[in-house]
Amino acid sequence: MADIYEQFGVRTILNAAGTLTRLSSAPVRAEVAAAMAEAAGRSVDMAALEAAASARIAAATGAQAGYVTSGAAAALLIGAAACLTGLSRTKMAGLPDAPPDKREFLVVRSQRNSYDIAVRLAGARLVEVGLPDRAAGAGVRDADAFELEDAITERTAAILYVARVGASPPLLDVTAVARKAGLPVLVDAAAELPPADNLTRFIAEGADLVAFSGGKALGGPPASGILCGRADLVMAAALQQLDLDVYDHLWRPPAGLIDRAAIGGPPRHGVGRVTKVGKEQIVGLLVALDLFLREGDGARHARWRAIVEDIAAHLEAGVAPHGIALALHGLDDTGDMPRLSLTLPPDRRGQAADLILAMEAGRPAVHVDQSAHREGVLTFKPVCLSPGDGAVVAAATLAALEATGLGDAEASA
Ligand SMILES: *Cc1c(COP(=O)(O)O)cnc(C)c1O
């Protein structure tokens, strides 16, 4: 019988581009898929399931509490909502038209990005701080902690921080400023795994809430993510995400996630209700989190490294005669991701886009990282590939090189 995608007339792709949402994120492991299938066939109380998830996530992150969301963006939305409302049911009902007197989130200007729409959707208004001289190549500065401190007003509700290697100012300096002002820090760490240490690092550095993507290297379902942090804020986020169309006197939320006495009664449907998450996503994420921790950075890095080395080995003979250079990157640091770059000869750089389109139109279709294609570079990433895929990816790449007149498939190993 045709596989499920063939039945719907859709062909699958080999994804060497990385965990892109538009390419369906990373395929989940068999154990995750099996757990999701089993979970999908049963009924469960969603709040009870999220309470169980909270305990697991707390253990993995060192946070007081956690919550499984439909992605890191969803985690940012409900995390921002929590920062805006605290445990006020009136404020929850008011979002996204948050109290106009206290809805501003400070953010370092260089950290603005397309995903911060999630924070704005909750009702927050972003106020930019700093001047990214570094990004412009005009200087060395970006933003300093004192600039954030001086930008705090009575309208400031929180600080949004986007975690990245080299982010400035360091998170520790930002949380110190925030703590002094009594403000929460919401950290977008969506793509900061691995290294696995980052699961605990941002919490340890004083973040009040941290968002991770489940569908990236963590290996969870594409529509999954984690919000973890302070118990009161996670509770406020949960209250604005769960379906709470319930009678007050019949509401018995799980104590491990929701302190009924602290909230008084159920709020109405919150702003996070649009980020509904399925039970199978929650179960899949928890199983993936466990596998991610058990595999460890070293074994994961070795598995990924073997895949890109395999692609390189199968490409070598076919590309070398045509002046196409291969290079492996990220091999030394087990917290980094091994990658293979293919660089076209200087006079053929303009054909990188043709090559990409030929690969995507090929059989099988192969997608690569396009971010350096204007420099004639295609990058192969291993996260969404399986150990056996290297030879197939290489053969499809050589066929596309031949089709675009850049190489010949015959010389392939
Ligand atoms: C991928 C990403 C997100 C969104 O993650 P999802 O899990 O797809 O919602 C948010 N912020 C950053 C910085 C990201 O890289």
CATH number of the domain where residue 357 is located: 3.90.1150.10
Residue located nearest, by CA, to atom 2 of ligand 1: 190
User: How far is the C-alpha of 323 from the C-alpha of 328, rounded, in Å?
Assistant: 17
Q: Are 103 and 125 in contact (CB under 8 A)?
A: yes
Q: Is the CB of 23 under 6 A from ligand 1?
A: no
In a domain, 22, yes or no: no
Name the phi and psi angles at 260, rounded to 5: -60, -40
Furthest-apart CA pair in the chain: how many Å? 77
Helix, strand counts (H, E) of the chain: 15, 12
| 122 and 212 both lie in a single domain | yes
- Which of the residues in the chain have pLDDT under 50? 412-413
pLDDT of residue 413: 43
∠ Cα 282 283 284 (to 5°): 90
User: How far is the C-alpha of 193 from the C-alpha of 223, rounded, in Å?
Assistant: 16
Structure tokens at 238: 């949960």
| 246 and 339 both lie in a single domain | no
| 111 and 215 both lie in a single domain | yes
User: How far is the C-alpha of 180 from the C-alpha of 291, rounded, in Å?
Assistant: 38
Q: Are 60 and 293 in contact (CB under 8 A)?
A: yes
One-letter amino acid for residue 204 of the chain: A
Residue located nearest, by CA, to atom 12 of ligand 1: 190
Ligand 1 centroid from CA 142, angstroms = 23
Residue located nearest, by CA, to atom 8 of ligand 1: 71
pLDDT of residue 188: 98
Q: Which domain holds residue 393?
A: 4-17+296-412
Our count of domains for the chain comes to 2
Cis peptide before 184 (omega within 30 of 0): no
DSSP code of residue 369: B
Q: Is the CB of 213 under 6 A from ligand 1?
A: yes
User: How far is the C-alpha of 269 from the C-alpha of 253, rounded, in Å?
Assistant: 15
Domain-terminating residue out of 291, 315, 331:
291
pLDDT of residue 380: 98
One-letter amino acid for residue 152 of the chain: I
In a domain, 23, yes or no: no
Q: Is the CB of 164 under 6 A from ligand 1?
A: no
Q: Is the CB of 104 under 6 A from ligand 1?
A: no
Domain-terminating residue out of 291, 315, 341:
291
pLDDT of residue 409: 59
Ligand 1 centroid from CA 191, angstroms = 6
| 67 and 155 both lie in a single domain | yes
pTM: 0.96
| 225 and 349 both lie in a single domain | no
